Structure 1
Amino acid sequence: MGLLQLVKCVALVACAVAAPVEERKAPKSFLKEVGNSTWVIGNAKWNVTQGRQYATKLWYKGKDRVGQAVGHYVSYNGAASDLNWTSAAIVDSGNDWINVKFTAKEGDFHWVIRDDLVGAYQYFVNHALPTLGEFRTLWRLDNISFPNGHTNVKDGVLPPLSEYAAATNVQDETWQKADGTFLTKYDWSAFIREQEYYGVYGDEVGSWYINPGKDYYNGNHLKEELMIHRESKTGDAVQLNMIHGTHYLARSSDSFANGKTWGPWLWYMNDGSKTDAARRWKQEEKSWPYEWFKDTAYQSRGSISGKLVLSDGRPAAGAAVFIGDTNSNLSTADQGKNYYYTAYTDSNGKFSIDDVRTGIYGFYSWSNGGKIGDVTTSFVQNDIVIAKNKATNLKTLTWQVSSPKNRIFQVGTFDRKTDGFALSGPTPFEHGRIAKAPSNLTYTVGTSQASDWYFGQSALGTWSIVFNLRSIPTSTTGAKLTASLAGFSGGSSANILLNDVKVGNITTNSALLVSSQDTYRGATRAGEWRLLEFPVAKAELKIGENRVDVQVTTSTKWRGWLWDSVVLEWV
Structure 2
Amino acid sequence: MKLQSPLSSVLCLLASAGSVLGVSGPFLTQLNESAWVFGNEIWNVTQYQTFATKLWYDERDLVGDAVGHYVSYNGAASNFNWTSASVTANTSTYLDIAFSAIEGDMHWVIYPDLAGAYQYFVNHGLPVLGEFRTLWRLDNTTFPKGRTNVKDEELPALSEYSAATKIQDETWERADGTFITKYDWTAWTRTWDFYGVYGEDAGSWYINPGKDYYNGNQLKQELTVHRESSTGDAVQLNMLHGTHFMASSSDVFSDGKIWGPWLWYLNNGSKADAEARKTEEFSSWPYAWFDNAWYHNRAAAVKGSISLSDGRPASGAAVFLGDNNPNKTALDMGGGYYYTTYADADGIFSFEHVLAGTYGLQAWSNGSAIADVSTSLLVNNVQVPSSNGSVDIGAHVWRLNDRRRLFQLGDFDRKALGFKYGGAPYQHALVDRCPANLTYTVGKSNTSDWCFAQSANGTAQILFDVDAVSNQTAVLTVSLGGFSAGTNAEITLNGAKVGNLSSLASDQSLYRSATAAGEWRLLEFSFAGNLFRKGSNSLAFTVKNSTKWRGWIWDSIILEWA
Tell me the equivalent position of 1:480: 475
Which letter maps to 1:28?
Answer: G
1:51 partnered with 2:38: no
Give the superposition deviation at 1:37.
0.6
Contact map agreement 1:327 1:382 (CA 8 A) in 2 = yes
Distance in 2, Cα, partners of 1:471 & 1:31: 80
Deviations 1:195-247 (A, max 9, x none): 10000000000000000000000000010011110000000000000010001
Contact map agreement 1:321 1:343 (CA 8 A) in 2 = yes
Tell me the equivalent position of 1:22: none
1:491 partnered with 2:486: yes
How do 1:125-524 residues align onto structure 2 when only pairs under 5 Å count? 125-302=122-299, 303-389=301-387, 391-403=390-402, 406-427=404-425, 429-472=426-469, 477-507=472-502, 509=503, 513-524=504-515
Give the superposition deviation at 1:110.
0.2
Deviations 1:379-398 (A, max 9, x none): 00001011011643222211
- TM-score computed with the length of structure 1 as normaliser: 0.93
Tell me the equivalent position of 1:539: 530
Contact map agreement 2:424 2:515 (CA 8 A) in 1 = no
Distance in 2, Cα, partners of 1:161 & 1:65: 18
Give the superposition deviation at 1:435.
1.3
Give the superposition deviation at 1:472.
4.3
1:552 partnered with 2:533: no
Distance in 1, Cα, partners of 2:294 & 2:74: 27
Q: Which structure has the larger Rg over C-alpha atoms?
A: 1
- TM-score computed with the length of structure 2 as normaliser: 0.94
Deviations 1:545-569 (A, max 9, x none): 1110000122101111000010001
Give the superposition deviation at 1:35.
1.0
Tell me the equivalent position of 1:63: 60
Deviations 1:493-534 (A, max 9, x none): 101111111111110x2xxx2111111111011111000110
Distance in 2, Cα, partners of 1:561 & 1:27: 58
Structure 2 unaligned runs (5+)? 1-22
How do 1:43-122 residues align onto structure 2 when only pairs under 5 Å count? 43-122=40-119
Distance in 2, Cα, partners of 1:547 & 1:530: 23
Distance in 2, Cα, partners of 1:216 & 1:395: 25
Which letter maps to 2:248?
Answer: R
Which letter maps to 1:60?
Answer: Y
Give the superposition deviation at 1:345.
0.2
Deviations 1:298-338 (A, max 9, x none): 11001321111111111110000000000011000000000
Secondary structure in 2 matching 1:299: coil
Distance in 1, Cα, partners of 2:497 & 2:302: 46
Which letter maps to 1:570?
Answer: W
User: How high is the sequence identity, in percent, across the aligned residues?
Assistant: 56
Tell me the equivalent position of 1:35: 32
Give the superposition deviation at 1:542.
2.2
**Where has structure 1 moved over 2 Å in runs of 4 or more?**
none
Contact map agreement 2:484 2:552 (CA 8 A) in 1 = yes
> How big is the alpha-carbon RMSD for the aligned residues of Structure 1 and Structure 2?
1.1
Secondary structure in 2 matching 1:79: helix
Distance in 1, Cα, partners of 2:97 & 2:49: 15
Distance in 2, Cα, partners of 1:256 & 1:479: 44
Distance in 2, Cα, partners of 1:118 & 1:314: 51
Which letter maps to 2:510?
Answer: T
Structure 1 unaligned runs (5+)? 1-25
Distance in 2, Cα, partners of 1:351 & 1:173: 40
Contact map agreement 1:325 1:335 (CA 8 A) in 2 = yes
Contact map agreement 2:469 2:530 (CA 8 A) in 1 = no
1:529 partnered with 2:503: no
Contact map agreement 1:316 1:349 (CA 8 A) in 2 = yes
1:567 partnered with 2:524: no
Contact map agreement 2:52 2:69 (CA 8 A) in 1 = yes
Tell me the equivalent position of 1:4: none
Distance in 1, Cα, partners of 2:144 & 2:525: 50
